[in-house]
Amino acid sequence: MQTALADSAALEDKDSPLWWQRDDLSYIDNELHFAGHKVQNLADECGTPSFVYSLTRAKSNLSRIHSALRKAGFTQNYRVLYAMKANRFAPLLTGLKLSGLCGIDACSPAEVELAVSCGFAPEQISFTAGSLSAEDYRVLNRFKSLNINCDSLHAIRRWGELRPGSSIGIRVNPGVGVSREGNERLQYAGKASTKFGIYREQFPEALALAKQFNLTIRRIHFHTGCGYLTAQLPQLDQVIKNCMWFVDQCQHIERVNIGGGLGVPHHATDGTLDLDAWATLLFRHFEGKPLQLDVEPGEYVMKDAGLLLLSKTYLEKKADTLFLGVDAGFNIAPEPAFYDLRFLPLALNRGAGEEHPVTVVGNINEALDVFYRDALLPDMSNATYLTLINAGAYSSSMASNHCMRGQFREYLLP
Ligand SMILES: Cc1ncc(COP(=O)(O)O)c(C=O)c1O
C-alpha cells in the first residue's frame, strides 16, 4: 500500500520530468512499472486500448483522506463517499465496497442501481442530481433509505409530493466556487449563474416548500468545482463560510456535505494537494458543532489509479510537428479535450537516448482530438505502445461511441 510519505516524496522535485513517479508507478531499469506489473506485459496481455486500474492505489488514496481527517480531529463524525461518476467499473465498485473505506455519491438512478448491485446499501449512498424526470423519481423512490439531496425548488416539491414527512438534504449554491486554478470550465458556482443548487435568494422559498410538505432538512450539500490543489484552499475556506449561512437557517441539520473537488497534479508544477492543511481547514469549521461531515471525492480516489494503454499507429512529421498517432481518441478519455487537462504520455521503455517533443493525437476526425502537445518522449520509432497517466477518472465513465470508435477494455489490478 502507498503511504502519504511515499506520495509526497515522489513529488518533491517539481522540476523533474519524472515528477509523477511514486513507488507504484515508476521506471525500473528503464521499463515502466505500474501496480507491481511491467506495463509492457500489461499491454501485451490486455490489448489496446485498455484502461488498467489499481485497486491498491484507489484504496491508498482513500486511506490518505481518512488519515488526514482523523489527524485533524474528526473521529466517527464523518463519511467518505466515493463519487462513482468518476469511474463506475463494477469490479472497482465491488472492491471499494469490500474495503469498507467509503460509501457512494451517485448522480443518476442508474448509478444508484449499480452501486446497490455492487453491494452498497442505500443508506451508504448520497444522491445529488438535477433535472430529474418523473421516471427518475419513480426509481429513486424504491430506495427508501437513500440520502436524497434536492438541488432545486422543483426537486423539493416533487420529493415532497412523493414522500411527505420524510427527511431530505438540500444542495445549495454559495455563489463562490473552488476549482483547479484558472480553469473556469471546472467551476460549478461563481460569478456566472449555474444550474447547481439553490441560491441564498431562493432559500426562504425552499424552507417554506419543505415546511409545506412536512420535510425535515437534515443535510446541506454543495459541490462548487473540481481539481482544487493547495493554493486554492483559501477559496475552499470561503465556500464553506458561505455555506454555513445555509446551515444556520435550518434547525435540524445533521450533516454538511462539502462535495468533491480534491485535485491531483497534471503538470510538474502542480504539486500534490496538502491533505493535512485541507483537513485542518475543515475541522476548524466543524469543531464544537453537532455536525457530521460528508466528503465525496471522485478524481482524488481514481484519477491517478488508472492508465490508458494505447498502441502507436504512426509517427510522422507534419509541418514543424512530430505527431504520434494512437489507436483511441478523445472520445474515450475526454478530459484533455473538454477541460484542457493534459494526460501525460509515457514511453513504456525509456531507453537511454535524448527526448524530443512529440504531439500525441487520437484516431477521431475532430480537431480537438489531441491528447498532449509537445510531450517530451524518447525516440518512439520502434515503440509499439504508449500509455497515458491520470486516466483512471472521468475517462471510461465519460466515453462515447463517436465515429463508432467507442470500444475499449477495462481491467482491475488487485
Ligand atoms: C455533486 C458532486 N459530488 C462530487 C463530485 C466529484 O467531484 P471530483 O471528482 O472533482 O472529486 C462531483 C463531480 O462533478 C459532483 O458533481
pLDDT tens digits, 15-42: 678 999 999 999 999 999 999 999 999 9
- Quick one: which atom of ligand 1 is closest to the CA of 297? 11
Using a 6 Å cutoff on CB, does residue 225 contact ligand 1?
no
Instruction: Retrieve residue 151's grid coordinates.
Output: 438541488
Q: Which of 99-108, 109-118, 153-162, 176-185 has the lowest mean pLDDT?
A: 176-185
Using a 6 Å cutoff on CB, does residue 297 contact ligand 1?
yes
Q: What residue owns the CA closest to ligand 1's atom 5? A: 260
pLDDT tens-place string over residues 68-80 = 999 999 998 999 9
Q: Which residues share a beta bridge with 250?
A: none
Q: Hey, is 240 helix, strand or coil?
A: helix
Using a 6 Å cutoff on CB, does residue 298 contact ligand 1?
yes
How far is it, in rounded angstroms, from Cα 19 to Cα 10? 7
Using a 6 Å cutoff on CB, does residue 303 contact ligand 1?
no
Averaged pLDDT for residues 108-125: 98
At residue 278, the pLDDT reads 98
Distance 259 CA to ligand 1 centre (A): 6
Using a 6 Å cutoff on CB, does residue 261 contact ligand 1?
yes
Give the full edge-to-edge strand order of the sheet including 37-38. 25-28, 31-34, 37-38
Of 301, 289, 286, 290, nearest to 69 (Cα)? Answer: 286
What percent of the chain has a predicted confidence (pLDDT) above 90?
92
Q: ∠ at Cα 131 (203, 298), nearest 5°?
A: 90
- Residue 68: phi, psi to the nearest 5? -65, -40
User: Distance from CA of residue 223 to its chain's centroid?
Assistant: 12
- Sign of the CA dihedral running 74, 76, 77, 83: positive
Counting ligand 1 atoms within 8 A of each CB, the residue from 65, 84, 107, 220 with the most, and so the one to mutate, is 107
Instruction: Retrieve residue 102's grid coordinates.
Output: 467509503
At residue 387, the pLDDT reads 98
- The separation between the first and the last C-alpha atoms of the chain, rounded to the nearest angstrom, is 11
Distance 358 CA to ligand 1 centre (A): 32
Q: Which of 7-21, 172-186, 212-226, 342-356 has the lowest mean pLDDT?
A: 7-21
Using a 6 Å cutoff on CB, does residue 296 contact ligand 1?
yes
At residue 13, the pLDDT reads 55
Using a 6 Å cutoff on CB, does residue 325 contact ligand 1?
no
pLDDT tens-place string over residues 278-304 = 999 999 999 999 999 999 999 999 999
- Sign of the CA dihedral running 82, 88, 94, 99: negative
User: Distance from CA of residue 309 to its chain's centroid?
Assistant: 20
Distance 197 CA to ligand 1 centre (A): 13
Residue 400 reports pLDDT greater than 90: yes
Counting ligand 1 atoms within 8 A of each CB, the residue from 85, 179, 232, 256 with the most, and so the one to mutate, is 85
- Quick one: which atom of ligand 1 is closest to the CA of 171? 1
Q: Residue 57 — pLDDT band, cuts 50, 70, 90? A: very high
Using a 6 Å cutoff on CB, does residue 151 contact ligand 1?
no
Distance 149 CA to ligand 1 centre (A): 14
Distance 296 CA to ligand 1 centre (A): 7
Distance 299 CA to ligand 1 centre (A): 8
Distance 297 CA to ligand 1 centre (A): 6
Domains parsed from the chain with CATH numbers:
4-54+304-413 (2.40.37.10), 56-302 (3.20.20.10)
Residue 11 reports pLDDT greater than 50: no
Global pTM value: 0.96
Q: Which residues share a beta bridge with 42?
A: none
- Quick one: which atom of ligand 1 is closest to the CA of 262? 11
